[in-house]
Amino acid sequence: MQYPAPGSPELAKEIKNLVKKTEVGLDEYWGLDHGCWSVLKHLYPNADVPVIQMSLDHYQTPRFHYELATELSKLRTKGILIIGSGNMVHNLGMLAWNRLNETGFAYEWAIEANEKMKKYILSGDHTSMINYKSQGSAFNMAIPTPEHFLPLLYTLALKEENETVSLFNDKAVAGSLTMTSLIIDKA
């Protein structure tokens, strides 16, 4: 897949200077991950907007990622769209390949985790989301590795008091994935 969106070296340098919690390295050659282009190709099919993708440091805690995201909030005031792309429930090891085309099929643990996450998101309970590892076996099955979940914490950390959260695309896929998405908007 080719998604030839332009970058923005100027904005990347601004982000590097904005972030104090960790060192930000710049790379103009890595390319876009599927978590980036698979979303953007639907929003901007002509690849005509500058895109900067940020990597996740998998050695850091969920709290670290949430706090780091708050440093990015200044970008929103400049009209920069920030997208956290992943899945709330993402367990490829448990995927029911034989039910891939069956609409809405989900394992009980996936339903439980997805419902709890939606409740936490809509009630503003970010602490429970940050502490997802202590939420029980359904969460452990839903999030066996954090790289698809952590972008959600970035998104939640950027929500301001006067904003509302709404859910869309709340669909399960093949038993162990949910495509539940959220949008944050001014109240």
Distance, CA of 183 to CA of 27 (rounded, Å):
29
**pLDDT above 70: percentage of residues in the chain:** 99
Q: Model pTM greater than 0.85?
A: yes
Q: Name, of 99-103, 122-126, 157-161, the range with top average pLDDT.
A: 122-126
> C-alpha distances in angstroms, 116 versus 52, 132, 184?
31, 10, 19
Residue 35 lies in a domain: no
Contacts of 98 (CB under 8 A, 6+ apart): none
> C-alpha distances in angstroms, 14 versus 23, 49, 118, 159?
13, 17, 33, 21
Distance, CA of 115 to CA of 176 (rounded, Å):
14
Residue 67 lies in a domain: no
Helices 150-157 and 62-70 pack at an angle, to 10 degrees, of 40
Residue 59 lies in a domain: no
Phi, psi (5° rounding) for residue 16? -55, -40
Domain that holds residue 136: 86-186
Q: For the chain, how many structural domains are there in total?
A: 1
CATH number for the domain harbouring residue 181: 3.40.830.10
Residue 159 lies in a domain: yes
- The b-or-e profile of 61-76 (16+ CB within 10 A means b, else e) is ebebbbebbeebeebe
Residue with tokens 């490829």: 92
Is pLDDT of 76 > 90? Answer: no
pLDDT in tens, 4-50: 889 889 999 999 999 898 888 888 888 888 888 888 899 899 999 99
